[in-house]
Chains A and B, each alone.
Chain A
Amino acid sequence: AQKITQTQPGMFVQEKEAVTLDCTYDTSDQSYGLFWYKQPSSGEMIFLIYQGSYDEQNATEGRYSLNFQKARKSANLVISASQLGDSAMYFCAMRGLRDSGGGADGLTFGKGTHLIIQP
């Protein structure tokens, strides 16, 4: 079974500051993928960043970077230079990447962190 833990229900951050959203995971899979999604109040899920378990480099996408520490089973999202438009719910998710076939598995999501950027 897979489990995602996001320990920060909410965070207040001043505009232009960097923010780290915590995510730890638990899985018995050897290969897996880790994702971060942003969900604004409109409800849509916006893909931010992906990290494969065998990727040696931490993933980066613009202002987003993923601090992947495999031994600690953590995949924290770092947002640099936060903007007012970053205010939203942020979900960490994972999916096993089994080689045995049988189709793709759906994502397992954490409970989310509500990020509020203050001017």
Chain B
Amino acid sequence: GAVVSQHPSRVICKSGTSVKIECRSLDFQATTMFWYRQFPKQSLMLMATSNEGSKATYEQGVEKDKFLINHASLTLSTLTVTSAHPEDSSFYICSARRASSAGELFFGEGSRLTVL
């Protein structure tokens, strides 16, 4: 099956620093990638949709200047949490849609961010 890899899986940073999370589709081209955020014991909330070569589309309530998304190639999307604060601590998961796939999305392993 298709593989999506996220890196890093865990990151701890100081308040005020920026953190970059990578999402790679390893064996397929992903025309669209999605970034989700999951709070403890809660569901996943879609943050933004990332299309290769164009600006990301953010969901309502998500600060685009806080969560920078870049989708520079068909296999890589990055999420940068800028000037991170403790309330940004969360589990971030990406998913990718294969160009030939009708419905299925493939998820990364997730990245747990802890901001001290």
Contact = CB atoms under 8 A, between A and B. Distances in A.
Q: Do A and B bind each other?
A: yes
Q: How large is the interface on A (under 10, 10 to 19, 20 to 34, 35 or more residues)?
A: 20 to 34
A35 B49 CA distance: 18
B67 interface: no
A101 to B, nearest CB: 12
Interface stretch (A18-26, A39-47, A75-83): A39-47
Mostly, the B contact residues are strand
Contacts, number: 65
A104 B104 CA distance: 11
Contact of A111 (B43, B49, B95): B43
Interface residues of B, number: 27
Interface of B: 31-32, 34, 36, 38, 42-46, 49, 51, 57, 59, 91, 93, 95, 97, 102-107, 109-110, 112
21 contacts: A33-B103, A35-B103, A35-B105, A43-B93, A43-B110, A44-B109, A45-B44, A45-B110, A47-B105, A50-B103, A52-B102, A52-B103, A91-B43, A97-B102, A97-B103, A105-B49, A106-B34, A106-B49, A107-B44, A108-B46, A109-B45
